[in-house]
Amino acid sequence: MKYLDEEIAKLEKEQRNQQIPNEPSANPSMNDTEHEEEQQWKTEDIIKGVKRGSLDNDAIQLEFGRLNVMKTGLSINFPTDFFVCTLETDEHMVFCNDEHEINVIFNWIESKEKFSMKHMKNSMLQQFHAMEMPIHWAEDGTVNHDALEPHYCLFTSNVANGVVFNYLCFVEKGNHQLIINVNGSDRQRNLWKWIAEGMISSLEVDSK
């Protein structure tokens, strides 16, 4: 899967340039159990809120509108307060929001083989290790969607001033693939994993 190896190489380059603005020191009073409890009460409400178009709770306030993703023939519910921070092309878009400390990257690539998460995981672990950029693989699976079968993976890695998470989603459409990368401070991981899942479950294929 040469095309995936090329995408992993791009991801490595992005990882090297990542920094977390104003990353605070870890709070020792917040343990894994507390994170899990916090996540459980948010999960369903967050996914429904994203699909409904509005999130308003103690954790975050976001409004969502429909975004036509480049020329993919796909649209998605997307935060309205994110802005494009690179030159937009038909195959690559980067959105960011400094307040939320989150980036969202869309890549539209031609794929000649069916996607394999097993291959993707093995290639990613090997290439990051070879570049002396070890990553912690947290999980992978599929996102619930009637028309599509999006695959996702979640991992963390160290950068110059902290730890970042990357949530990658792979959506196959014809002989192309849309890769969505949501990344930011690891402090945001639990919250933005579910926001990302809500966004992905809102994907729609154009009727044209």
Say what the pLDDT of residue 28 is: 36
What distance in Å separates the CA atoms of residue 57 and residue 166, rounded to the nearest whole number? 24
What distance in Å separates the CA atoms of residue 124 and residue 113, rounded to the nearest whole number? 17
- Pairing state between β 151-159 and 135-142: antiparallel
Q: Domain residues of the chain, as ranges?
A: 2-17+34-205
With residue 176 as reference, give the H or E element that holds it.
strand 176-185
Spatial CA neighbour of 182 closest among 89, 50, 58 = 50
Backbone angles phi, psi at 69, to 5 degrees: -80, 95
What distance in Å separates the CA atoms of residue 79 and residue 33, rounded to the nearest whole number? 29
Q: What topology does CATH give the domain 2-17+34-205?
A: Protein Transport Mog1p; Chain A (3.40.1000)
Please check whether residue 155 is in contact with residue 166, taking contact to mean a CB–CB distance below 8 angstroms: yes
Please check whether residue 101 is in contact with residue 188, taking contact to mean a CB–CB distance below 8 angstroms: yes
Residue range 83-100: average pLDDT?
89
What percentage of the chain has pLDDT greater than the value 90? Answer: 56
Say what the pLDDT of residue 37 is: 42
Say what the pLDDT of residue 19 is: 54
Residue range 61-87: average pLDDT?
94
DSSP one-letter string for 40-54: HHHHHHHHHHHHHTE
Say what the pLDDT of residue 49 is: 93
Amino acid 168 reads: L
State the pTM of this model.
0.82
Q: Is the pLDDT of residue 65 over 60?
A: yes
Q: Which segment, 17-21, 55-59, 80-84, is predicted with the most confidence on average? A: 80-84
**Residues with Cβ within 8 Å of residue 3, at least 6 apart in sequence:** 109, 110, 111, 112, 113
Considering only residues 207 and 12, tell me which one the structure prediction assigns the higher pLDDT: 207
